[in-house]
């Protein structure tokens, strides 16, 4: 098990759609363990494979929502959601962050309910369904695997602020990452 560097916005691997997993072996199981370790070290809610430079369609999550812990992984996920709001998100209740956009948070419109179906590392069927924070997480991670950062979902002034932030951080060139090391974040590239 290992903690892997997390790619930062601007890396083209974050915008490439994931490749379906076809081999279910010990290496895949070890990789999912690495995702859990990386997520824990980064104090995240979830991490998708492409965030650590792997093109496979898999994500791991470990979060608490309303006092209930949700922990698991999904390989080759497919998502269904309730209607996604088209209005301006609430600046207090709809804040969203991302390990690939470290230290930044923006109000992001998400559906109130989501269900993800897929398989586990053994190829057995998995279904994860939730509302609130879990629903937001499921949408966020499946977006990653579709090659979308949450920044692409921003509208209005939030979209403009995110574009300025990307420019100000210099996150316009590929190859930047950071290595989660507990509360410390150090840039690798």
Domain coverage including residue 59: 6-170
pLDDT along the chain (189 residues), means of 10: 94 97 98 98 97 98 96 98 88 91 96 98 98 97 98 94 94 90 48
Q: Which residues are annotated as a binding site?
A: 98, 140, 144
- 50: domain CATH number? 3.90.45.10
CA distance 92 to 36: 28
Asked, for residue 189, whether it belongs to a domain, the answer is: no
Asked, for residue 176, whether it belongs to a domain, the answer is: no
User: Which among 27, 83, 96, 141 is annotated as catalytic?
Assistant: 141
pTM (two decimals): 0.93
User: 10 Å Cβ neighbour count for 154?
Assistant: 20
Asked, for residue 188, whether it belongs to a domain, the answer is: no
Asked, for residue 23, whether it belongs to a domain, the answer is: yes
Q: Give pLDDT tens digits for 106-130.
A: 999 999 999 999 999 999 999 999 9
Structure tokens at 94: 């709809």
Q: Indicate the number of domains in the chain.
A: 1
Asked, for residue 12, whether it belongs to a domain, the answer is: yes
Sign of CA dihedral 168, 7, 147, 111: negative
CA distance 70 to 130: 10
Q: Which residues are annotated as a binding site for Fe cation?
A: 98, 140, 144
Asked, for residue 186, whether it belongs to a domain, the answer is: no
- Specify the pLDDT at position 86: 83
Q: Is 141 annotated as catalytic? A: yes
Asked, for residue 82, whether it belongs to a domain, the answer is: yes
Asked, for residue 1, whether it belongs to a domain, the answer is: no
């Amino acid at each position: 098990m290992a903690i892997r560097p997390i790619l930062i916005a601007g890396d083209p691997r974050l915008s490439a759609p994931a490749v379906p997993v076809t081999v279910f072996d010990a290496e895949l199981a070890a990789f999912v363990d690495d995702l859990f370790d990386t997520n824990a070290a980064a104090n995240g809610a979830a991490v998708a494979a492409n965030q650590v430079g792997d093109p496979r369609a898999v994500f791991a999550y470990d979060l608490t929502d309303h006092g209930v812990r949700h922990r698991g992984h999904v390989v080759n996920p497919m998502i269904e959601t309730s209607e996604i709001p088209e209005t301006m998100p609430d600046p207090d209740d709809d804040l969203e962050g991302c390990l690939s956009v470290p230290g930044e948070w923006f109000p992001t419109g998400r559906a109130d309910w989501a269900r993800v179906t897929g398989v586990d590392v053994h190829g057995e069927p998995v279904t994860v369904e939730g509302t609130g924070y879990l629903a937001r997480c499921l949408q966020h991670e499946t977006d990653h695997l579709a090659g979308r950062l949450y920044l692409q979902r921003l509208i209005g002034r939030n979209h403009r602020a995110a574009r300025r932030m990307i420019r100000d951080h210099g996150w316009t060139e590929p190859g930047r990452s950071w290595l989660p090391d507990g509360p410390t974040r150090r840039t690798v590239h």
